[in-house]
């Protein structure tokens, strides 16, 4: 009996080894299709509209199986990005009926009842309702047939190619920054005589125009020399400014004074010059008019009236000054 028991033990041990070998063989059989996956042949991809981002496009895929296998699903992975839409099945030849879904760049055709398909069988599947990817360029679709596991039966990658064309033309117009500024008077002389009222108080109008495409408009500044209206004669006599600047502008007070006032169209004239008030020039310059946008096709106009009045307190000599007008555009 002990000997028989030993034989039984050996027999049991042998049975266990055979079972283990059978399990290994079974595992090898399960994983074999992935290791032996072949390449799909005669593959193609067609689209009904090749414009980028076009909606409701039909995608047609055809290929020939390379390996006999029970197909449960077929995946179509489009390269790139921005594939969209909700695909629907239009046609399915060579494969059983099924359903379709899309997740990102992957369209999956799932066979309702997995079907065994022999090697060399042509399959054609067409989907509708797809939105093309973007941007324009060449795209590929990797096609893979799978079992229910899922295990790959056959595949092709990168797969058939389609070129999606841009549906728009990028248009760029660069407009140059432009400003046209004119001054109609570059020099003038006033001959004043205190003995004659008509000659003792005289004015000169300087006309300016501004035309610009500056988006945020511009400012107009007026200034003169630091010495103001001065003579080179002994003692460098001057004719007094009517005020220290626009902040103290006033109605014309008479002789002896020199100053200016501003009127215009288009731009906003500083309130200091309202009611024909006059201001004295400053060497630092002061803004006399502003505009918050471009002028358009019609130029803004300005009339700067320079006025000087004398009496017998003003020395008989020649007085000079230089007036400067500056337009500063704002293109922001």
Task: Tell me what the mean pLDDT of segment 180-191 comes to.
Answer: 98
Does residue 8 surpass a pLDDT of 70? no
> How many of the other CB atoms lie within 10 Å of CB of 52?
19
pLDDT in tens, 225-244: 999 999 999 999 999 999 99
* 38-164 and 179-329 share one fold: yes
Average pLDDT, rounded, for the chain: 90
323 neighbors 281 (Cβ within 8 angstroms): yes
Rounded Cα distance between 215 and 66, Å, is 67
Alpha carbons 67 and 38: distance in angstroms, whole number: 7
pLDDT on residue 166: 83
Distance set, CA 39 to CA 105, 150, 154, 157, 265 (Å) = 21, 17, 6, 9, 80
Cβ-Cβ contacts under 8 Å for 64 (sequence gap 6 or more): 40, 41, 42, 43, 120, 121, 122, 123
Nearest Cα residue to 114 out of 66, 63, 73, 61: 73
- Within a 10 A sphere around the Cβ of 130, how many other Cβ atoms? 25
Second-level CATH architecture of 179-329: Sandwich (2.60)
Among residues 291, 266, 283, 272, the alpha carbon closest in space to that of 324 is found at 283
Rounded to two decimals, the pTM is 0.59
So what's the architecture of 38-164 in CATH? Answer: Sandwich (2.60)
DSSP letter, residue 155:
E
- Is residue 11 pLDDT above 60, yes or no? no
Q: In the chain, what are the domain boundaries?
A: 38-164, 179-329
- 218-223: strand order across its sheet: 268-269, 286-291, 218-223, 324-329
Residue 275 has pLDDT above 90, yes or no: yes
Q: Is the pLDDT of residue 107 over 50?
A: yes
């Amino acid at each position: 009996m002990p000997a028989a028991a030993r034989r039984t033990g050996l027999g049991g041990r042998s049975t266990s080894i055979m079972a283990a070998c059978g399990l290994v063989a079974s595992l090898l059989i399960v994983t074999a299709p992935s290791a032996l996956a072949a390449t799909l042949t005669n593959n193609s991809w067609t689209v009904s509209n090749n414009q980028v981002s076009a909606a409701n496009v039909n995608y047609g895929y055809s290929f020939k199986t390379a390996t006999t296998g029970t197909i449960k699903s077929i995946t179509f992975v489009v390269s790139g990005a921005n594939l969209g839409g909700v695909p629907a099945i239009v046609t399915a030849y060579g494969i059983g009926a099924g359903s379709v879904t899309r997740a990102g760049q992957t369209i999956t055709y799932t066979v309702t009842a997995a079907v065994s398909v022999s090697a060399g069988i042509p399959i054609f599947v067409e989907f509708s309702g797809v939105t093309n990817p973007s941007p324009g360029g060449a795209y590929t679709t990797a096609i893979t047939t799978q079992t229910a596991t899922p295990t790959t039966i056959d595949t092709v990658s990168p797969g058939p190619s389609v070129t999606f064309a841009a549906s728009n033309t990028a248009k760029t117009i660069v407009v140059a920054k432009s400003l046209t500024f004119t001054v109609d008077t570059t020099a003038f002389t006033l001959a004043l005589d205190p003995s004659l009222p008509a000659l003792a108080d005289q004015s000169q109008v300087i006309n300016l125009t501004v035309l610009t495409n500056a988006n945020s408009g511009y400012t107009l500044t007026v200034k003169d020399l630091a010495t103001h209206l001065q003579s080179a004669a002994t003692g460098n006599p001057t004719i007094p400014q009517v005020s220290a600047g626009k902040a103290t502008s006033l109605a014309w007070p008479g002789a002896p004074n020199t100053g200016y006032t501003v009127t215009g169209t288009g731009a906003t004239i500083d309130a200091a010059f309202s009611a024909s008030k006059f201001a004295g020039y400053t060497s630092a310059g002061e803004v006399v008019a502003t505009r918050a946008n471009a002028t358009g096709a019609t130029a803004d106009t300005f009339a700067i009236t320079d006025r000087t009045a004398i009496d017998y307190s003003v020395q008989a000599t020649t007085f000079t000054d230089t007036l400067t007008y500056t337009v500063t555009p704002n293109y922001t």
